[in-house]
A = this chain, B = another copy of it.
Amino acid sequence: MPDIAELIRSCDEWITPELDKVFDPSVSEDITVKAAKYSLMAGGKRLRPLMMKETSKMMGLTGIDEDIRYYAATLEMIHTYSLIHDDLPAMDNDDLRRGKPTCHKAFGEGFAVLAGDLLLNTACERLMSIAVSKPEYAYTSYMMMVRAGLNGMIGGQSIDLASEDKKIDLDLLIELQDKKTGALIKTAVVTPYMLSKKLTAETAGADEDYKLLINLASHIGLAFQIKDDILDVTSSAEVLGKNVGKDARDEKSTFVTLLGFDAACDYLNKEACGAREVLGKLKERGYATADYEILTDYLVNRDM
């Protein structure tokens, strides 16, 4: 039975070479490319690629591993661009990310804006490029962009920015997080399955496994965010690789500041149970859920 460190290491070996070849070496002197690569290769846990790899393993998807990896790298590029822009002084104003200076600290704000734009644009180029040869993937690509957009990540980020210096209620916080971090986690969990089934708007709506995966991703996404808020209180910058105690200092509404520490922990456990329940159903349907259970436990118990 692998442990989480082994799953993360194995994912890292799988995804890093794919990320490393995103930009042609002939353009490696361009400062925007350097800035984009700096953030893209800064490590991190690669949770979204890991979820994609694990969905693929759980459901026994064979023959499309190269495509899944291509989409995993593309999603990681979208995630990384959002971190770069999110860290800017005009947004969250963070100096530290994944234990290193943030992109704008290392390359200046102008190149950080451009590096983010470049990662998003290149992700779109990749999705359009594969649409040329594999039109059956177009709906999956479309949904990746939708979940990165106004009805997903950007929409959540917008609520977040509009809520600065304001107390928001729990419903809005849940909507914010469901969009800001939940949407890309949904993409990660469902994309391999969507690719393998060549899902369309019509077939996705009627697919039981797809619905279970979306449900699983909702619980995982919320648990992930609640844990993030808890770690901002209990962890240290050394362990976490980013600044802590910031939420309270900025009077930011989080699951901890809104609910209190104990209730936030209860909420986390409730979501973790929800995730395990869905995994139980997937197991009944014959899928190999063992690694996903390890992943879920990790998300709840992690200290970074």
Contacts and interface: CB of A to CB of B under 8 A. Distances in A.
Interface of A: 23, 27, 30-33, 81, 85, 88-91, 104, 108-114, 116-118, 120-122, 124-125, 127-129, 131-132, 135, 138-139, 141-142, 145-146, 148-150, 154-155, 157-159, 161-162, 200-201
A39 to B, nearest CB: 15
Contact of A114 (B112, B114, B120, B154): B154
A114 B200 contact: no
Nearest to A152: B121
The 3 A-B pairs at the shortest CB distance, nearest first, are namely A90-B109, A135-B135, A128-B142
Given A121-B148, A149-B125, A150-B118, A30 B135 contact: no
Contacts of A31: 158, 161-162
How many copies the complex holds: the figure is 2
Given A88-B113, A109-B90, A128 B138 contact: yes
Nearest to A27: B150
Contact of A131 (B89, B114, B125, B142): B142
